[in-house]
Structure 1
Amino acid sequence: MAAVTDDVAAQLLSRQTSDDQGTLVTLLYSLRRSLAEEAVYEHLYDDLEAVLGEYADLAPVEVTVIAEWFRTAATNFVEVVPRLVLPYPEDEMRHLIYLSAEHPRPDDALGHLRRFALAILVILDLMGDAAS
């Protein structure tokens, strides 16, 4: 978080603003993209590739670590998806939340992680350009 001095705040508040449609559309797009970036952690796409990719072969410890990262992503999606996706994707989010709450036995962990990854991909797809 950045601190703003009184002088800088006064200068920023005294600037003229634009209310034309093009500027507002650009601003809304930028705000939505910024919000989505807060939900999509830095290496989410790498983790999805590691789970679903052609050469996916994860060790049990990797499955556990990625599952925790996916749970964090699911929590973030619960907070931002209502602001980014209209109408709210109730069924898709419910599925994601259920998968996030599951903690399968080690024998079932990789299959669960793949289902979890697919549910995350569905949400990212619904978020559209804001998530990329």
Structure 2
Amino acid sequence: MGTLLVGLRRFLANEAIDDELWDDLDAVLGEFTPPASHEIAAITARFRRATTTLVEIVPSLVRPYPLWPLQRLIFLSAEHPSPEYARGHLNRLAMGILDLLELMGDDAV
């Protein structure tokens, strides 16, 4: 039963952490041109969907319970800044997701 549970958790992690999420993180945090203004809303929406899944699965994959990183990501995901602050918000949201992915280690790959 334990093996099945581990497999299910890894499957859920893979559902949330797909190539599109990595591409979005690279677009926001990478060294190349940041996303254009018209792309920010779409990337933010995808980050919010990923946040929902990560909040559900990370507590079962990471010990000790990552209270602060999860709370930070939940609060960031709930924010809806005005357009002039959208790029900064997107950067903070991306960093919050990346923090959780780093805590997950191999389960995030």
State the TM-score, normalized to the length of structure 2: 0.89
Residue of structure 2 equivalent to 1:123: 100
Equivalence for 1:3: none
Establish whether residue 69 from structure 1 lines up as the match of residue 40 from structure 2.
no
**Offset of 1:86 from its aligned partner?**
1.4
SS in 2 for 1:87: coil
Query: Quick check: 1:94 aligned with 2:76?
Result: no
- What letter is aligned with 1:71? R
For the aligned residue pairs, the C-alpha RMSD in angstroms reads 1.9
User: Structure 2: which 5+ runs fail to align?
Assistant: none
Could you tell me how far apart the structure 2 residues matched to 1:67 and 1:131 are? 20
Q: In the alignment, which residue of structure 2 is the partner of 1:106?
A: 83
Greater Rg by CA: 1
One-letter identity of the residue aligned with 1:104: P
Structure 1: stretches of 5+ with no match in the other structure: 1-23
- How far is the alpha carbon of 1:37 from its aligned partner? 0.7
Amino acid at match of 1:45: W
The 8 Å contact of residues 63 and 113 in structure 1, kept in 2 or not, is answered as yes
Deviations 1:8-66 (A, max 9, x none): xxxxxxxxxxxxxxxx77x6654442221122244100000000111132211201100
Partners of 1:28 and 1:39 lie apart in 2 by 17
Question: What residue in structure 2 maps to residue 21 of structure 1?
Answer: none
2:61–2:104: 8 Å Cα contact kept in structure 1? Answer: yes
Name the residue aligned to 1:18. none
TM-score by length of 1: 0.75
Aligned residues: 109
- Identity among equivalent positions (%) equals 53
Residue type of the partner of 1:98?
Answer: F
Find out whether 1:53 has 2:22 as its counterpart.
no
Higher helix share: 2
**Is the 1:39–1:80 Cα contact (8 Å) retained in structure 2?**
no
CA shift, 1:92, in A, is 0.4
- How far apart, CA to CA, are the structure 2 residues paired with 1:49 and 1:43? 10
